[in-house]
Structure 1
Amino acid sequence: MIKHNLNKTLEALTAHFPHAINGIKRGIEREALRIKPNGVISKQGHPQGVGSALTNDHITTDFSESLLEFITPVSTSAEQTLAQLKDLQKFTLSQMDDELLWPISMPCFIDNQDDIVLAQFGDSNIGRMKTLYREGLKNRYGSMMQAIAGVHFNISFPDELWQSLHALSASEQPLSTFISDGYLGLIRNFKRELWLISYLFGASPALCSSFLQGRKTDLPFKKLGKGTLYLEVGTALRLGNLGYTNSAQSSLRVMYNSLEEYVAGLKAAIHTPSDIYGHIDDYTRAEPKQLNKNILQIENEFYSPIRPKRNATSGETPTDALLRGGIEYIEVRALDVNPFSETGIDLQQIRFLDVFLTYCLLSESPTMDWQEQQLSTQNLDAVVNEGRNPELQLTKQGEAVSLVDWASTIFESLIPVARYMDSAYGVSYYSETIHELSSWVTESSKTFSGRYVATLAKENQDNGQFALALAQQYKENHLAADYQYYDPAFLREQAVNSIAKEREVKAADTLSFTAFLDDYFAKA
């Protein structure tokens, strides 16, 4: 485990390894609902022109046929990553006829959850498994929650940084173990201060009343326009009790103090029968409605704002990949779709995340017990519901502290991290980003949610009208722009090749679907 003082570590890195941080690798996964020109969710299948959702590495679907997912390859250039993301969206829009991409996290008007068509991945065993998993999600949580979109930010730190930290700490651990412990320390610190991400970049303070489908809520919603509900000082409904939550998972004590502990927690969840879902037929029945009857069908069902990851080999589960090679990168899952960016995330956010996650890595990170994890969730909930309340109090190490004071303290610590990164990269934008966003602490109107609510309130505008106008404008912008990174011929070829690959996957099946799942779960 890495134990160190942030400033001393930065001083040592600056003196002995001034460029060790250079070479951060990133990848982005952006989700977006396909909608009709009138703002209603699309019921059409996955656009044929973008190929197979199963085997296209860069354009696929998430829960439903209408929930597209754009995946950039790994890159050390944030500008390149955004260019790739923009091109993938431009190409997809060109294959969607008159349909649009919904530019916010909370879904458009949906009359009935049956309008949300499950994603189809073909009739291969793995394709059928993916769809059945989603059938399980529908029957466990309802489709409406699964229509929420987000942005996932993947990051890994350079080998030189890990080697430098390993040397500075005089660690006797194998480097791979040291790296895994370091990433887990980052995760613990991120969870402690996740609320700051919600405060700055939360962009889902409003929703269409259709989302509730008649459910009652104690949230202090105000009404706007024809059918908009919003939290006056809220930030990110997507991260709250109406979003990606799972009451059945509240008893799962998945901890982050060691890789073995984390894996054991997840493996227990995928092998523990559920009292809640046990009545739903699983894959062993003639008409299955879920993969199995456990608390988690598979590991991906575990809802967490941040995950340790390693690229898995064919047939390998995520946790087995971690046990095989240790943590390779981190997946941040706490970002709303940025409605003020046509790509769903902007350069300023990436630069802030670079600094913030480096700060989380280099800062001392004590172990985190279950009570502290619960406390971090309570702080997040408070910011989700009333983060722009200037009097809001959070709990830090058992003591009440104002959000403004705590955030200001964090930004003071981010300044030297940004300076080190600026020096390593020969730039000034990291410090400039921290300076700019620090002003958002006391001026909450600058935050995404502050700008969002102000925009709606100014025109007494429905949330749906606001998003639809953006969707139309962004489609025009994308289609009018030139490709920045990809050649469109390459994207077309990739689409065609993905269809051939899906056929190959089907042809390679040697087991029945039931036997395939028997084998999969036996290995898991």
Structure 2
Amino acid sequence: MELDAIGKAIMQYHLVPLVHQANMGLEVTMQRVNGQGNLSVNAHPQVFGDNQRNRQLRQGFSATQLKFSTPAMRDLSALMAYLNGLNTAARRALKPDDYLWPLSSTPVLPADLTTIPLADVDAVSFKRRQQQAKKYDVQKLMTTGAHVNLSFNEQIFTRLYAETFHQQYHSYVEFRNAVYLKVAQGFVRMDWLIQYLFGATPNLSVTDTERPQRSSVHNRAARYSQVAGDYTAIDRYVTKLEAAVHDGQLLSVNDFDGPVRLRSTGQLTTLTRQGVYYLEYRGLDLDPTSPVGVDQNAVAFMRLLASYFVMMPALPTAMVTKVNEQAGQLSRQVTAENPTTASVQAEPAAQVLDALADFAKTYGLPNEDIVLLEQLKQRVTDPKKTVSAQVAMQESALTWAMSQAQTYQAAALERPFELPGFTSLDISSQLLVQQALTRGIKTSVIDADANILRLTQQGQSQLVVAGSGTDLNPQALTSILPHKAAAKQVLTEHGVQVPASQTYHSANQLIDDYDRYVQAGGIVLKAADHAHQVAVFRIMPERQLFEQVVHQLFEQNHSVMAEEVVVASSYRFLVIDGHVQAIVERLPANIVGDGRSTVQTLLDRKNERVLRGTAFKYPQSSLRLGTIERYRLESYNLTLDSVVGRGTQILLREDATFGNGSDVLDATDDMDTSYVQAVEKLVSELGLSVAGVDVMIPNLYAELVPEHPEMAVYVGIHAAPFLYPHCFPMFGEAQPVTGALLDALFK
């Protein structure tokens, strides 16, 4: 088919890529159920807050319905990543006996539907839910699914209107409305094909034993509202819905349950004047083969259809009503078919997919769309490849659905330090994103490599770097603190105890002072501008090993700080908004013998723990056998094959940082308050709102007194401290530090 005037103009001005990069957003509703597939009796998770503040995770018609809403995005991979992160974050906030029902078919509902708990957000919305429950079929209100919100780049409309269509249309809004209207008409016409390809509900309820259908939920008879939309013109669409409300067919225009809604930034009454800003397609069943309930292929297909409809001729207005009626008949026919058998519309379905493939090839759409169409065509030739058929062929849909729900829930909890969709970020950033998503804070990844995020809620926006670096801290001090010598000078100026030190700019300089450090009784070596490269020797090693370690440090650094050894335990205080929120103790990398296992076995066993792995990729770093670790083993007269006595602790290092295999213990409730007050005072004087403070303390229970400043020796301060050690200590309680940071950012 030949392009219409709009399609030709799009080709003329090379706007096809912009058309195909439509903004897509998703609204996915799922049910919370228990392990038997009954509605959950647990309350809506408090961490999600209320529906007004949290637009990403909110209740639906019932208190058990959970609605996920993503921002609109051009990149489908990024969109699905966001939904994946949102879904996982929500799962981790559920009670242990809660699961997310993977089907649009209702789970096991109570015999008395009036006992279903309605969403009780506020008095007005609760009254509306009560009215809905009286007017409509509650079972149909309890079905779930996915809505696709689609909008085009505004640049397309402005360019086409300014260059070509300002003479054919009275206004810019009228032109934009015309484009959205013909796309809406196209979606209505193709609803039957979408239902065939992506339908996934053989029965309206999972307990039904009636003959299966392709989509029991999106069959017209299963919609709680039978009002059909008028898509002949924008004003007629508005008038039809307003009349339905006036006649009592709908409680409000928001109850219109047709396959496509025309959406604006205001109320329905302003649609004609303000114009359509996006379309909402409401006809996707949940895909139970995906943990998020949506197949990316379905979203990609919707975008491809939209591109096609934009560029192809619209129906003559006089034909729209008749064609839509025929489309409705087709949808009723296709959705009512047995999903495991061939459709009577198989040939037309194949023809439509072929036409779309020709369109994609002719007008230079990405090859991935052509591959997608080939895959979807297999569902036409073999109906058993459709999702609905896969569900229908299960011996027990309830058993299978619960198995899927439990599998997805277990997968979400398996690696709690990783957030699917955001794994390119560091751990602290992932944990912050998870908490932000659950609170309804929109999260944008500005630069994954640099771990830069933008968090936005109700018009307020904050940039965060590396999980905790924010504008809450003064920029100058934030720039200074990564440099150890400068940081130590800052600490000294504020009157706290710091270890004596000297900075060296060449390996030979430091090695020449070897004898001096032997007499001093030990040394701490730190890369001057690198936070994680540290080596501690409480007793100086032989010169050869010392030279080896020094050369290794200078291979990666321009300068190295040599510091006196402080014999005490190492603690990290995390300060947020002026208060110590968490404290962890760091024990040097070690193994503890059981009297039977070799050193190698003890190392392997400890490294096999779920939370241990590559440093800064896992909450607890693996134990490694480098130069220092092997030296320590030799000092114990041990080899990898040696058996370590029961209860004997072997220290593999004498320094304890987050990246060298140390054990992290929560000490928040154990630390004497005098140290907490001292740290808070220091951070306040520095003008920092967020800080990590490293302090060596011999006895955390003994009160810090001014006469003995050596009871607290400050060895480091950080303006963008790690959050994850406090969330995943090896021993003790996890502390809610990500929530505390978000509280500070969004007061």
Q: Which amino acid aligns with 1:23?
A: Q
- Structure 1: state its 5+ residue gaps: 123-127, 210-226, 273-293, 394-402, 503-524
- Map 1:146-225 to 2 at 5 A: 146-163=141-158, 166=161, 167=163, 172-173=168-169, 174-208=171-205
Deviates more, 1:172-181 or 1:67-76: 172-181
Secondary structure of the corresponding residue to residue 239 of structure 1: coil
**Pair 1:236-2:215 in alignment:** yes
Distance 2:28 2:379 in 1: 25
Q: CA 1:199–1:428 in 2, change beyond 3 Å: closer, same or farther?
A: same
Aligned-pair identity in percent equals 22
Query: 1:44 Cα shift?
Result: 2.5
Query: 1:50 Cα shift?
Result: 1.6
**Pair 1:434-2:373 in alignment:** yes
Query: 1:61 Cα shift?
Result: 1.0
Secondary structure of the corresponding residue to residue 229 of structure 1: coil
Deviates more, 1:181-190 or 1:445-454: 445-454
Distance 1:412 1:164 in 2: 31
Match of 2:30 among 9, 29, 32: 32
Deviates more, 1:12-21 or 1:327-336: 12-21
Q: CA 1:410–1:497 in 2, change beyond 3 Å: closer, same or farther?
A: closer
Q: Which amino acid aligns with 1:310?
A: S
Deviates more, 1:404-413 or 1:194-203: 404-413
Quote the residue 2:332 is aligned against: 381
Q: CA 1:475–1:335 in 2, change beyond 3 Å: closer, same or farther?
A: same
Q: Tell whether the 8 Å contact from 1:91 to 1:488 is kept in structure 2 after alignment.
A: no
**Pair 1:418-2:418 in alignment:** no
Query: 1:175 Cα shift?
Result: 2.5
Deviates more, 1:469-478 or 1:89-98: 89-98
Query: 1:450 Cα shift?
Result: 2.1
Q: Tell whether the 8 Å contact from 1:52 to 1:495 is kept in structure 2 after alignment.
A: no
Question: Larger % of helix: which?
Answer: 1
Query: 1:9 Cα shift?
Result: 6.5
Distance 2:237 2:34 in 1: 42
Secondary structure of the corresponding residue to residue 68 of structure 1: strand
Distance 2:334 2:440 in 1: 45
Q: Which amino acid aligns with 2:216?
A: L
Secondary structure of the corresponding residue to residue 294 of structure 2: coil
Distance 1:207 1:145 in 2: 8
Q: CA 1:138–1:413 in 2, change beyond 3 Å: closer, same or farther?
A: same
Q: Which amino acid aligns with 2:408?
A: Y
Quote the residue 2:102 is aligned against: 103
Quote the residue 1:89 is aligned against: 87
Quote the residue 1:492 is aligned against: 435
Q: CA 1:493–1:193 in 2, change beyond 3 Å: closer, same or farther?
A: closer
Quote the residue 2:397 is aligned against: 463
Secondary structure of the corresponding residue to residue 70 of structure 1: strand
- Structure 2: state its 5+ residue gaps: 423-428, 442-456, 459-747
Q: CA 1:24–1:300 in 2, change beyond 3 Å: closer, same or farther?
A: same
Q: Tell whether the 8 Å contact from 1:199 to 1:387 is kept in structure 2 after alignment.
A: no
Secondary structure of the corresponding residue to residue 6 of structure 1: coil
Q: Tell whether the 8 Å contact from 1:13 to 1:164 is kept in structure 2 after alignment.
A: no
- Map 1:81-480 to 2 at 5 A: 81-98=79-96, 99-112=98-111, 113-122=113-122, 128-163=123-158, 166=161, 167=163, 172-173=168-169, 174-208=171-205, 227-232=207-212, 234-241=213-220, 243-247=222-226, 249=227, 254-272=229-247, 294-312=248-266, 317=267, 319-366=268-315, 367=317, 368-386=319-337, 388=339, 392-393=343-344, 403-419=345-361, 423=365, 427-454=366-393, 456=394, 461-480=395-414
Q: Which amino acid aligns with 2:168?
A: E
Query: 1:47 Cα shift?
Result: 0.9
Query: 1:442 Cα shift?
Result: 1.7
Quote the residue 2:60 is aligned against: 62
TM-score by length of 2: 0.54
Aligned pairs, how many? 427
Q: Tell whether the 8 Å contact from 1:151 to 1:337 is kept in structure 2 after alignment.
A: yes
- Residues 366-396 of structure 1, C-alpha deviation per residue, up to 9 Å, x if partnerless? 1245444332222111101116586754xxx
Q: Tell whether the 8 Å contact from 1:29 to 1:71 is kept in structure 2 after alignment.
A: yes
Distance 2:362 2:158 in 1: 17
Deviates more, 1:159-168 or 1:190-199: 159-168
Q: Tell whether the 8 Å contact from 1:207 to 1:229 is kept in structure 2 after alignment.
A: no
Distance 2:390 2:440 in 1: 43
Q: Which amino acid aligns with 2:114?
A: D
Distance 1:335 1:421 in 2: 28
Q: Tell whether the 8 Å contact from 1:44 to 1:65 is kept in structure 2 after alignment.
A: no
Query: 1:492 Cα shift?
Result: 3.3
Q: Which amino acid aligns with 1:428?
A: N
Q: Tell whether the 8 Å contact from 1:154 to 1:329 is kept in structure 2 after alignment.
A: yes
Q: Tell whether the 8 Å contact from 1:13 to 1:20 is kept in structure 2 after alignment.
A: no
C-alpha RMSD of matched pairs (Å): 2.7
Distance 1:487 1:421 in 2: 40
Q: CA 1:342–1:495 in 2, change beyond 3 Å: closer, same or farther?
A: closer
Secondary structure of the corresponding residue to residue 237 of structure 1: coil
Distance 1:200 1:169 in 2: 36
Distance 1:8 1:365 in 2: 10
